[in-house]
Structure 1
Amino acid sequence: MADRMLQFVRLDQHQPDKRPATARREDFAEIYQDFAPQAAAAQSSRCSQCGVPFCQVHCPLSNNIPDWLKLTAEGRLEEAYEVAAATNTFPEICGRICPQDRLCEGNCVIEKDFGSVTIGSVEKYITDTAWENGWVKAPKPRRELAQSVGIIGAGPGGLAAAERLRMRGYQVHVYDRYDRVGGLMIYGIPNFKLEKEVVLRRWKQFEEGGIQFHLNVAVGRDITLEDLRVKHDAVLIATGVYKARDMAAPGIGLPGIVPALDYLTASNRAGLGENVPGMASGTMNAAGKRVVVIGGGDTAMDCVRTAVRQGATSVTCLYRRDKANMPGSMREVYNAEEEGVVFEWLGAPEAFLGDAAVTAVRAQRMHLGLPDATGRQQVAPIPGSSFDLPADLVIMALGFDPEDLPKAFNEPALPVTRWGTLKVDHRTMMTALPGVFAAGDIVRGASLVVWAIRDGRDAAETMHHYIEQKTAALAVAAE
C-alpha cells in the first residue's frame, strides 16, 4: 500500500470551497469551486483502504472507490478515470448530484470520528480532468453487429444502456419525446447542481460513437411499440416517471399552485435560452413572490433554491416530518438554509386559501408517532394547531408516479404492477412481451439517477444475452 494513504489521522476533511451564499443566490452557476490538484490528492489520501469498503458496498454501481482514490493520491489520474468509468457511465454527473451523504460518504468507515473522505468531489475532479485532457472517448465498438436495439427514453437509464450496447457493436436507436437528450438531467435538475453542458457534451459524444437519436418522437403518437418490436431485435423501455402526485384539499385548483416538475422545466428551458411562456407570464416565475414549496425530497430542495435565484421575496419549505426524517440530501438542506430558505418542520397542508388565485397555505402541526412497517415514524395532526403561510406561488413537490404506459403506448398487453410501474422478470428485466425490457424508475419507482444508471447497464447485459440466444436459435432453425 502506498505510504500516501491512511492520512485521515493527519488531514482534516475538506470539501471544495463553496461560493458565498450571497453570490450564488444571484445566478444558476454550480456552487462548488473546483478542487485544486494538490487538494484532491490530499483528500484522496485520507482513504483508509479498508478491507471491506463500505463506500463501495453502499454505492448502487459498486464503484471501485478505494482504487481510484489511491490512484488520485498518487497522481495517476488517467488510470483513476479508467477505473471510475469501468463501472459508471456518467461519473461526472454522479459526482455532482448523488446524495453521497446517504450513500458512499455516509458509510465511510472513518466518518464517525474523522469525517468521511470527500468521495463525490474527488469523483467530479477526476472526470472533469479527464474531459479536459481528452481521455473520455466516444463509445465506438471494435466490430459492428447487424442487430439493432431500440431504447425508449434518453434519460440516465436509457443512455447507460445505449452506451453499453453500442460498445458491444449493436446498432443503437434512442427515441425520446423531448427535444434534447438527458431527461430529468436536462429539464428537472437545476444548473446550480448540474450545469447543462455536462450533459449535452455526452449527447454529442454518443452521437460521435454512432448512437442514433430520434427526438420529438413519442411512442404511441409518432410510432407504436409494435413498430419498434418489428424494427429492432430488442427494445428497452426507460421512460422514467413524470406524473406528479397530487393531493385532495380545499382550494387545490386555484391559480398559482403548480407541479414541481413543470416549474423546474420552465426554469431550465429559460436557462437554455428558450422563450418560455410560463416565465414571461409569471405563472412559473417566482420573482417578487412569496413562495411555499410543499415536500421534503431532493425535488423540493431544487424548487426552493430555484425560487431564491429567481428573486422570490420569501421562500418557505413546508414538510410534515422533522429535519431528521427528511428523505432528501441533508447537504442540500444546509445549502438551502444558507441561501435564506425558511423550513416549517412538522407542518402539513390542509387547505389553500384565495379567490382569484392562491394567497395562503393553511397548514397544521403534525406529531411524530411510532414507526410504521417501513421503519419511518408515522405522522398525525395536532388538533387546533392550524396556521397560515402567505403565498403567491405554491409548488407541489410530493413526488412522482408512473404514467399509464399501456394506454400511452396503445399496448394493453404491457403488464404493470399495482403501483403502475412496469412488471418485469427481475432476473432478466424483460416484460411479458418477448424482447421488450424495462429499466430505471419505470420499474422501481421514482429513485436516484445512480440507480437508473445501474439498471440501464444491467438491462444492457440481459438484452445482449437475449439477442445472442435469439440469433443462435434462428441460425439453428435455418440449418
Structure 2
Amino acid sequence: MGKATGFMEYERQTSNERQPLERINDWKEYSAPFSDKVATTQGARCMDCGTPFCHIGMDIDGATSGCPVYNLIPEWNDLVYRGKWKEALARLMKTNNFPEFTGRVCPAPCEGSCTVAINDPAVTIKNIEQKIIDKGFENGWITPRIPQRRTGKKVAIIGSGPAGLAAADQLNQAGHSVTVFERADRAGGLLTYGIPNMKLDKDVVERRVNLLRQEGVDFILNTEVGKDISAEEIKADYDSVILCTGAQKHRDLPLEGRDAEGVRFAMDYLTIATKSILDESVQVEEELNAEGKDVIVIGGGDTGADCIATALRQGAKSIVQFGKHPQLPIKRSGDNLWPAFPNVFSLEYAHKEAKEKFGEDIREYSIQTKKFVTDEKGKLKELHTVQMKKTRDENGMFVFEEIPGTEKVWPAQLVLIAIGFEGAEQPVLQAFSVKTQRNRVNAKYGDFQTNVEHVFAAGDARRGQSLIVWAINEGREVAYQVDQYLMGETALPSVVNM
C-alpha cells in the first residue's frame, strides 16, 4: 500500500500547530489539517507490510494496540497517496461513524502498532484520517442518508456520547426509529462538555448531530431519565433500550482538607469552561476560574492536560501537574515492545503551551499529595506533598514508598482532580434495575444484553473508562445485537460476529 519505498524517502510530518503563545489567547483548535500535498506524501509512507498491525484492535499488556474500530488504514492511505479522495472517504466511513472526532482526539494506538514504527517514526494515520473526513465535508460529499424504509420498531438510547451516537447512527440506517435521551443541554456527551474546544471545536460535534437529525434520529435534551421521565415509561414506549451513559463517577482523593473551597473535579472545571464559551450568559464561578491563581492539576492523563490548556487560556498565574509515576523513557523500554502501545515520553499540546509560557516543563513526577490546607475562610491556600519511589515487592508487584525528607508545600488556590473515573453513575442504572459490578453494567461484550429484557448496555457504562474508538466500536456492535434482537436477522456489520 502507498509507495513501496515511501517510508524510506519521506519523513514523518504531523499537522500544522499554531504557535503556542499565540493560540493560548483563544479557544480555537490548536492545529490545522494537512494540505492535500502533505497528506498524499504522508500516505505514501504506508508500507506494503503484508500484515497491517495498525488495525488489529486488541489489548496488549493492559493497553490498546491497533485500531478498535478496525479502520482499513492501509487501503485509505493508498487511496490518498493516489489522490482518490472520495474512494478514501468511502473506505474510512465503512468502519468509523465519526472520523472527525477520532481524527482529532483519539490517542492513535494505531500509530503505535504501525509496522514502520519498529525502526522509524510511524505513519501519521490520525492526521490523514482527519484530512479525509474534513475534505469530505468541505466538498459536500457527506450528505444526509435517509433510510429508504422504516421497520416500525422504536429504540431508546440513554446518553449521547460516542457510543450512543454510533449506536443511533447504525440503528437508524437499519430503519428503526431512534430516540436519544441526553440530560445536558447539548448532545455529544464528553465530546461536548469533556473535551475542550482547542482539541475538538463544538461546531464539529454539532455538525454531526445535525446530520443525524436530518437522517431521522430524534434527540431529547435536558431530560434526565429517572427524574424527568421514568425508566418504566421508556421501557413501555420502546421496543429496545440501550444504556450508553458513560463512566462519569469520579475517582476522588479523600484526604485531609478535601472539602476546601478550590479543590474540584477536573470534569466540573472543563464543563463550565466550555459552557461559558458556547453561551455568553453562562458565567464561570469564581472557584472554578483559574485567572490569577496558582493551579495544580493532580493526574497525568489527557484530562489533566486539557485542564492545563484551559487554565492557560483563563490566565493562571502558575500551573503544575502532578503524576504518581516516574517520567517515561524517551524510547521503548525492553518490556514495552512493538506492537504494544508505546509508553514513551511526549509533550502534549498543553505541555508545549505551558513550557512556552513558563519556560519549563510543568510536570512533577513520582509525587503524592498528602493534604490540602485552607486559610481562615476555608479557601484553599496550599497543599502538601511527598516524593515517592516505585519498586517491586517480593511478589513482583509494583508498590510506592514515600521518600523521607522530600516533603514540600505548594501554594495553590485551585486544585483540579483528574485521576480518572470509577465507573458509571448509578441513578439511571438503578432506575432500569440492571445489575452492576464495580460500577459497570453487567453485560457481556459481543452480546451487550443486561439482566433486564430488551435493555442493552454499551460503551464506558459497560466497559469502564476507555477510549473514544472503543466507545464507537461498542456502539456499532450493540447496534448489531439490537437489530438482530428486534428483527431476527441483521445486515449491519459486526467484527465480533463475523
Q: Out of 382, 385, 398, which is 2:406 matched to?
A: 385
Aligned residues between the structures: 463
Distance in structure 2 (CA, Å) of the matches to 1:329 and 1:159: 30
Distance in structure 1 (CA, Å) of the matches to 2:72 and 2:22: 36
Deviation at 1:404, TM superposition (A): 4.4
Q: Map 1:294-373 onto structure 2 (within 5 A).
A: 294-324=298-328, 333-340=347-354, 342-355=362-375, 356=377, 357-370=379-392
Secondary structure at 2:183 match in 1: coil
Secondary structure at 2:319 match in 1: strand
Q: What does residue 83 of structure 1 align with?
A: 91
Deviation at 1:114, TM superposition (A): 2.4
Consecutive unaligned residues in structure 1, runs of 5 or more: 472-479
Q: Per-residue displacement from partner, 1:55-94 (whole Å, max 9, x unpaired)?
A: 1111011100000000000000011011001100101110
Distance in structure 1 (CA, Å) of the matches to 2:87 and 2:387: 53
TM-score under structure 2 normalisation? 0.89
Amino acid at match of 2:391: G
Deviation at 1:400, TM superposition (A): 1.4
Amino acid at match of 1:51: G
Q: What does residue 394 of structure 1 align with?
A: 415
Q: What does residue 23 of structure 2 align with?
A: 24
Secondary structure at 1:296 match in 2: coil
Secondary structure at 1:154 match in 2: coil
Amino acid at match of 1:308: L
1:460 aligns with 2:479: yes
Deviation at 1:414, TM superposition (A): 1.3
Deviation at 1:445, TM superposition (A): 0.6
Q: What does residue 95 of structure 1 align with?
A: 103
Consecutive unaligned residues in structure 2, runs of 5 or more: 57-65, 331-340, 356-361, 491-498
Deviation at 1:330, TM superposition (A): 6.7
Deviation at 1:242, TM superposition (A): 1.5
Distance in structure 2 (CA, Å) of the matches to 1:389 and 1:205: 48
Secondary structure at 1:443 match in 2: helix
Q: Per-residue displacement from partner, 1:339-359 (whole Å, max 9, x unpaired)?
A: 125111111100011222111
Deviation at 1:372, TM superposition (A): 10
Distance in structure 1 (CA, Å) of the matches to 2:38 and 2:100: 18
Q: Identity of aligned pairs, percent?
A: 36
Would the aligned equivalents of 1:287 and 1:307 in 2 still touch at CA under 8 Å? Answer: yes
Secondary structure at 2:264 match in 1: strand
Deviation at 1:425, TM superposition (A): 3.0
Q: What does residue 62 of structure 2 align with?
A: none
Would the aligned equivalents of 1:224 and 1:409 in 2 still touch at CA under 8 Å? Answer: no
Distance in structure 2 (CA, Å) of the matches to 1:404 and 1:242: 6
Distance in structure 2 (CA, Å) of the matches to 1:297 and 1:376: 22
Deviation at 1:360, TM superposition (A): 1.2
Change over 3 Å in CA distance of 1:331–1:434 after alignment to 2? farther
Q: Per-residue displacement from partner, 1:83-126 (whole Å, max 9, x unpaired)?
A: 001100101110100101xx111111111422111000000000
Change over 3 Å in CA distance of 1:329–1:138 after alignment to 2? farther
Amino acid at match of 2:177: Q
Distance in structure 2 (CA, Å) of the matches to 1:52 and 1:28: 41
Would the aligned equivalents of 1:238 and 1:439 in 2 still touch at CA under 8 Å? Answer: yes
Secondary structure at 2:287 match in 1: coil
1:65 aligns with 2:73: yes
Deviation at 1:271, TM superposition (A): 1.3
Q: What does residue 34 of structure 1 align with?
A: 33
Deviation at 1:139, TM superposition (A): 3.8
Amino acid at match of 1:203: V
Q: Map 1:53-202 onto structure 2 (within 5 A).
A: 53-57=52-56, 58-100=66-108, 103-202=109-208
Change over 3 Å in CA distance of 1:221–1:18 after alignment to 2? same
Q: What does residue 433 of structure 1 align with?
A: 452
Amino acid at match of 2:101: I
Q: Map 1:276-291 onto structure 2 (within 5 A).
A: 276-277=282-283, 279=284, 281-291=285-295
Q: Out of 430, 443, 446, which is 2:465 matched to?
A: 446
Q: What does residue 213 of structure 1 align with?
A: 219
Distance in structure 2 (CA, Å) of the matches to 1:139 and 1:249: 52
Would the aligned equivalents of 1:5 and 1:73 in 2 still touch at CA under 8 Å? Answer: no
Change over 3 Å in CA distance of 1:42–1:404 after alignment to 2? closer
Deviation at 1:377, TM superposition (A): 3.7
Q: Per-residue displacement from partner, 1:222-253 (whole Å, max 9, x unpaired)?
A: 11222111111110000002122111211111
Change over 3 Å in CA distance of 1:51–1:372 after alignment to 2? farther
Q: What does residue 477 of structure 1 align with?
A: none
Deviation at 1:260, TM superposition (A): 0.4
Would the aligned equivalents of 1:317 and 1:344 in 2 still touch at CA under 8 Å? Answer: yes
Deviation at 1:138, TM superposition (A): 2.2
Cα RMSD, aligned residues only: 2.2
Change over 3 Å in CA distance of 1:331–1:202 after alignment to 2? farther
Deviation at 1:389, TM superposition (A): 1.4
Deviation at 1:413, TM superposition (A): 3.2
Distance in structure 2 (CA, Å) of the matches to 1:393 and 1:343: 16
Larger mean Cα displacement after TM superposition, 121-130 or 376-385: 376-385
Deviation at 1:171, TM superposition (A): 0.5
Secondary structure at 2:32 match in 1: coil
Q: What does residue 474 of structure 1 align with?
A: none
Would the aligned equivalents of 2:446 and 2:477 in 1 still touch at CA under 8 Å? Answer: no
Distance in structure 1 (CA, Å) of the matches to 2:145 and 2:236: 26
Larger mean Cα displacement after TM superposition, 326-335 or 35-44: 326-335
